[in-house]
Amino acid sequence: MGHTRLLTALLLVLVLGACSHPIVITPDADKISAVSDDRKINKRVGYYMTLAQRDAPVVTPGGGGDSIKYYPYRDIEGGFYRVLSNVFSDVTLLKSTNDQETLDKYEVVLIIKPEIRTTSQSSSIVTWPPTDFSVELTCQITDRSGKGIAETRVTGQGKAEFSEFVSDFSLAGKRASFDALMKTQDALLNLQELRGDR
């Protein structure tokens, strides 16, 4: 990047300071690696996120005393669906954990409810985009009756320096989301509790 473009980008980041800045932490779902058929879990699962979760903004620190605002459930849902599709033989979205019509229609045997927690910070005192981001993704797995089967909990980390995020202010968040999803995929594949007859 030329000196003039770099200076322009820096000025833009500074001018947009002193407020809560919207970002999108959606990772590139196409980069989530596929799973070989012999590793997949031959079970039909349903996942459930509430509308309140999807519509709730989260505000965490950025740099320069500013903050950032984003929608973690909404941003990560597409990648989460890709992970579940990689791991299990079939995946469907549930309207509720008691969505009997969908449970029966798609012969769902396991229900997965994700919980997402995020943190962010920046080493910069003059620019607002975060340089460090974390996404904790927990999956609570139950059978159709609500009985707990297993749980996974991972933390994805993402970092981005100024020279990288000048063209994408959300870069650290996207990297953290991607890391959390890949770790979740591995954690689910390694859960022996999911491979028995249930």
Average of per-residue pLDDT across 5-18: 49
Of the candidate ranges 6-20, 78-92, 100-114, 137-151, the one whose mean pLDDT is the lowest: 6-20
CATH code for the structural domain at 3-194: 3.40.50
C-alpha to C-alpha distance for 148 and 151, rounded to whole angstroms: 8
What CA–CA distances, in Å, run from 60 to 28, 157, 180? Answer: 22, 15, 18
117 has a pLDDT exceeding 90:
yes
* Strand runs labelled E in the chain: 20-22, 41-47, 58-61, 67-70, 88-93, 110-121, 132-143, 148-159
* Strand runs labelled E in 58-180: 58-61, 67-70, 88-93, 110-121, 132-143, 148-159
Provide the β-strand partners of residue 100. none
